[in-house]
Structure 1
Amino acid sequence: MTRKRGELLRDDTNAKIAGVCAGIADYFGWEVWLVRIITVSGLFLGIGGFVFVLYIAAWLVLGKKSQVQAELKTTGSQAKTAVKDKHVEIKTRVWQRGEAPNQVLKHLSNEFNEIELRLRDMERHVTSTKFQLNKEFNNL
């Protein structure tokens, strides 16, 4: 599964300390727990000083994701981002971000049930006598 990468930002909404691991996981499309385990393992397996310095540098250098999204919404250039995105990612590997296939199936089933109910309401309205009467008045 190919995914278009955006900017590398700190994800302060899913942060435990500063959001660096959550931002890296979001950038690469991985699970956050995997990036955190790799970071903590690096701290304890001999390269701790290097990992600590990189983490602090990323904390200071990377921008916050929530601030960037707020700036985009205020400029109005990204009005479509305010609309709820109904895209669901399917997890094909353990380390990838997304939902398990059975959860995606349940999600899609619920979506199709909602669509079917809306379609039934529309059919009921179009086939009603009130709709026919309004249509005839509009044609006059």
Structure 2
Amino acid sequence: MNTRGELTRDPDKGKIAGVCAGVAEYFGIELWLVRILVVSAFFLTAGTFVVVSYVAAWFILEKKSARQGHAQFKSARYTHREQSSSGKGWHNANDEEDEKVKVKSKVWQSGEPPKQAFADIKQRFEKNEVRLRQIETYVTSAQYQLNREINSL
């Protein structure tokens, strides 16, 4: 199982209030499985208990904040700044955080199947290779040497 954080509800992924989405993320299982369990519990037990519990969780659990929604892994994306008043060189072009690839080994776990995870990782490496080639092209260019000479004056 994943390292558990705080139990919150996720209205962005949820159908009604995001309680099932929060529980699924907390326990590291697929959202559809939690929904099936809740609906089954409603029909197989006293339905009022399940409804009261769901509504109570709706009011007790806090909403998931935007910062909690991103993975802790942060990848800097750099692009070259052209001649502008803001400066020269390389800067962080996108403050968006990349999520870690989660691989599931069982159907009920959250994450991607291994083949899909491998394809996603391969795609990320290809994007990084293109960016690295762009950086190398700039660093080996005459423009870079000229900018370096001017800055050293």
Q: Give the TM-score range, shorter chain.
A: 0.7 to 0.9
Q: Map of 1:1-140 to 2, 5 A cutoff?
A: 2-65=1-64, 69=65, 83-139=96-152
> What is residue 76 of structure 1 aligned with on the other side?
none
CA deviation digits over 1:43-69, x for unaligned, max 9? 11134332222112212222222xxx2
- With 33-42 and 121-130 compared, the bigger mean Cα shift is at 121-130
Q: Structure 1's 17 and 86: CA in aligned 2 closer, same or farther, altered over 3 A?
A: closer
Letter in 1 for 2:136: E
Report the structure, 1 or 2, having the larger helix content: 1
TM-score, normalization by structure 1: 0.77
Is the Cα contact below 8 Å between 2:9 and 2:17 reproduced in 1? yes
Equivalent position SS for 1:99: coil
> How far apart are 1:136 and its partner, in Å?
4.1
RMSD of Structure 2 on Structure 1 (CA): 2.4
**Code of the aligned partner of 1:34:** L
Structure 1 or 2: more strand by fraction: 2
Tell me the SS of whatever aligns to 1:12.
Answer: coil
Letter paired with 2:44: L
TM-score normalised to structure 2 length: 0.72
Residue 107 of structure 2 aligns with an amino acid whose one-letter code is V
Alpha-carbon separation, structure 2, partners of 1:51 and 1:106: 40
**Shift of residue 113 of structure 1?**
0.9
Moved more, 16-25 or 120-129: 120-129
Q: Which runs of 5+ in 2 are unaligned?
A: 69-73, 75-94
Instruction: Point out where structure 1 has 5 or more consecutive residues left out of the alignment.
Output: 74-79
Task: Report the CA distance between 1:34 and its aligned residue.
Answer: 0.1
**What is the percent sequence identity of the aligned residues?**
52
Per the TM alignment, residue 118 of structure 1 is displaced from its structure 2 partner at its CA by 1.2
Q: Secondary structure of 2:38's match? A: helix
